[in-house]
Structure 1
Amino acid sequence: MPTFVQILDFIGTFAFAISGIRLASAKRFDWFGAYVVGFVTAIGGGTIRDVLLGVTPGWMTDPIYLICTGLALLWVILFGKHLIHLHNTFFIFDSIGLALFTVVGVGKSIALGYPFWVAIIMGSITGAAGGVIRDVFINEIPLIFRKEIYAMACVVGGTVYWVCHALGLQSYGCQVAGGVSVFVTRILAVKYNICLPILSGSGEEEDNKDKD
């Protein structure tokens, strides 16, 4: 039987793959191209995390990630017309994947004995890096570089996970608390237009002077 962490990982893979494939379909990619985008969205962050932690990436030892991406592609093929027209679909699936992958990354880092700051960074990489690769593939500015709260939601969730772990809460309780924190932070940030300040440089001031 799969463990709770494995179930979270599979659901996150499916959710992230759908978010990538859905955007690829909106860009009119063919089936293979959409599958590739969905796959790198789903496994990109986890692969970078595992390489940094010195372990073999999960998709290289278990074909379930390839299968999950295939199921996600089939889902979009069957219900694509509805998904493309639902503007909130990408946001919901992306937020679910972000939350689940963050807690998986934090939990794996803690299990390997790394300190909490490394665990939080690894959780953020697991959650956000796949989306960066996805956006590069579809020729968009990566979401984490825009005003929206994205990677910071991973940091919030990772911190909540670690605090719960430090207080002695069982692992599944830490995972639920951390995942919910990521999801709620992302939802509230978008709903109430909460964002980080934009860094304005001297170049922008010079451009404005030139326009004047």
Structure 2
Amino acid sequence: MTHVEILMLLQFIGIAAFAVSGALVAGERQMDWFGVMVLGVIVAVGGGTVRDLLLDVPVFWMAAPWYVLLAGCVALATIPFARFAHRVRRPVAIADAVGLAVFVSLGTRKALEMETSGFVAVVMGVITGIAGGVIRDVLANRTPTILRKEVYALAALCGALLFVFADWMGLPPLLTFWISSGVVLIIRLLAIFYNWSIPTLKVEPGEQD
């Protein structure tokens, strides 16, 4: 397989995993089938949409509607298997890690191609990877995953930073992409398999005046 074919395959995997994660959250909140499709699509394309709006460029899925169609179909296809959700959470989390790795690198690269600063490129890379999940959680009325103990946004941040650094060092674009994606994937998989988490801040509620 060529690099382009491998990249497309990884995007398919990532979009499908993001869509399934959105569908599972919709099921936990007992949403109807339309809600399942909406949350699945939002997770899959939300991050890239926010990125493109901030960069003031055409939104990517408008030129390639298959992103939305694939996410919607996968989300709806999840419905018959909802009863087995407890068995597929880890495989979905692993596939989600692949999607996160790919989308963070793609988002960072796109920002750099727009000749933004390294700082902006890092922010755009992180947004591409996590914004869809944040929107999903807000719509589902729950605390966003990235604001809890998950090592998720941190993995995205490390990958985006490494991408910008490698690009600054003049490494070949293909090598830069794989290094950045590999770091995100490794950190996320280690967090999944070893239950890594970020320490939480606990403050006792004060008395009401």
Task: Please classify the TM superposition score into its range, dividing by the shorter chain length.
Answer: 0.7 to 0.9
Alignment partner of 1:141 is 2:136: no
Distance 1:141 1:200, change over 3 A: same
Alignment partner of 2:122 out of 120, 144, 147: 120
Q: Is the 8 A contact 2:101 2:181 kept in 1?
A: yes
- SS of equivalent residue, structure 1 residue 195: coil
Alignment partner of 1:93 out of 74, 86, 95: 95
- SS of equivalent residue, structure 1 residue 49: helix
Mean Cα displacement is larger for which, 85-94 or 15-24? 85-94
Query: CA–CA distance in 2 between the matches of 1:176 and 1:155?
Result: 15
Deviation for aligned residue 1:62 = 2.0
Unaligned runs of 5+ in 2: none
Query: How many residues matched?
Result: 206
| Equivalent position of 2:46 in the other structure | 44
Q: Is the 8 A contact 1:5 1:104 kept in 2?
A: no
Query: CA–CA distance in 2 between the matches of 1:200 and 1:47?
Result: 34
| Equivalent position of 2:69 in the other structure | 67
User: Partner amino acid for 2:16?
Assistant: F
Query: CA–CA distance in 1 between the matches of 2:64 and 2:18?
Result: 18
Q: Is the 8 A contact 2:20 2:40 kept in 1?
A: yes
Deviation for aligned residue 1:4 = 6.0
Query: CA–CA distance in 2 between the matches of 1:189 and 1:29?
Result: 29
Q: Is the 8 A contact 1:99 1:179 kept in 2?
A: yes
| Equivalent position of 2:189 in the other structure | 187
Query: CA–CA distance in 1 between the matches of 2:105 and 2:95?
Result: 16
Q: Is the 8 A contact 1:45 1:126 kept in 2?
A: yes
Distance 1:135 1:89, change over 3 A: farther
- Residue deviations 1:102-161, cap 9 Å, x none? 111101011111121111110001111110111122222101110221111111111222
User: Partner amino acid for 2:127?
Assistant: I
Unaligned runs of 5+ in 1: none
Alignment partner of 2:58 out of 34, 56, 68: 56
Q: Is the 8 A contact 2:98 2:185 kept in 1?
A: yes
Distance 1:168 1:5, change over 3 A: farther
Distance 1:163 1:137, change over 3 A: same
Query: CA–CA distance in 1 between the matches of 2:184 and 2:201?
Result: 24
Q: Is the 8 A contact 1:46 1:105 kept in 2?
A: yes
Q: Is the 8 A contact 2:20 2:74 kept in 1?
A: yes
Query: CA–CA distance in 2 between the matches of 1:105 and 1:25?
Result: 29
TM-score, length-scaled by structure 1: 0.84
Alignment partner of 1:109 is 2:111: yes
| Equivalent position of 2:34 in the other structure | 32
Deviation for aligned residue 1:190 = 3.9
Query: CA–CA distance in 2 between the matches of 1:206 and 1:96?
Result: 42
The list of structure 1 runs, each at least 4 consecutive aligned residues, that deviate by more than 4 angstroms after superposition, is 1-6
Query: CA–CA distance in 1 between the matches of 2:115 and 2:178?
Result: 21
Deviation for aligned residue 1:3 = 4.6
Alignment partner of 1:160 is 2:144: no
* Identity within the alignment, %: 38
Distance 1:2 1:92, change over 3 A: closer
Distance 1:164 1:4, change over 3 A: farther
